[in-house]
Structure 1
Amino acid sequence: MEEKKQAARKEVGAPEVPSERTFYANFAGFKVGLYDFIIDFGRNDFSGGVIEESVIRVYLSPQHAKSFYMILGKQIQRYEERFGQIILDEKKSKKEG
């Protein structure tokens, strides 16, 4: 009985990710098609805008992309409530927007 409870607890929430699959990204590029949203995550080495080779490409359906957007927005709101407002570099934001 106790084993079933422990198994059920493990299934709830985000899955554990092995450390070898962890990737830090400080750059994201976006492409949008009728059926896909594509996000390329990478690392900018800041030596002239070169993106390192290690890029992870994530494909999302429009429904998953919108769900991701809504969940990420809620998480950012919680972060700012706890740690304070995230300040963006206005020059960089204008280039990307």
Structure 2
Amino acid sequence: MSQNPQQPRVNMVQAAGYRDTYANSVQIRVSVWDFHLIFGQANSESPDQLSIQNHQGIYLSPQQAKALWNVLGQNLAQYEQAFGELNLEPQIPNFPQGTVN
């Protein structure tokens, strides 16, 4: 009979500089060593002008990127089950005029 090892207690603490930020733009750069996720906010001043202000870049190991992909997939499935299917925008989104928030 095998025993299950006890899971460690997790103590999550927010760093002094922690902040929540809205992002409607995520760019991903990939290398053999890591994934670089760049979060920003897109807004359109005119129909032919799109500006993206990047405000945070996060580097992830390939293993952590895959773990994020798994947990996002699980949470999106639960969200769609509760609220209905999400439809993605066309490849060339038509951003509204002014600041997007």
Q: Does TM-score exceed 0.5, indicating one fold? A: yes
What is the match of residue 34 of structure 1?
32
Count of residue correspondences: 81
Unaligned runs of 5+ residues in structure 1 are 1-7
SS at match of 2:74: helix
- Runs of 4+ residues deviating >4 angstroms: none
User: How far 1:49 moved relative to its partner?
Assistant: 1.5
Structure number with the bigger relative contact order (C-alpha 8 A, sep ≥ 6) is: 2
Unaligned runs of 5+ residues in structure 2 are 1-8, 94-101
Hey, what's the Cα distance between the residues in 2 that align with 1:61 and 1:85? 30
Q: Which amino acid aligns with 1:80?
A: E
User: How far 1:16 moved relative to its partner?
Assistant: 6.5
What is the match of residue 6 of structure 2?
none
Normalised by the length of structure 1, the TM-score is: 0.72
Identical amino acids, percent of aligned pairs: 30
* Largest Rg, 1 or 2: 2
Cα RMSD of the aligned pairs, angstroms, is 2.3
Higher strand share: 2
What is the match of residue 51 of structure 1?
52
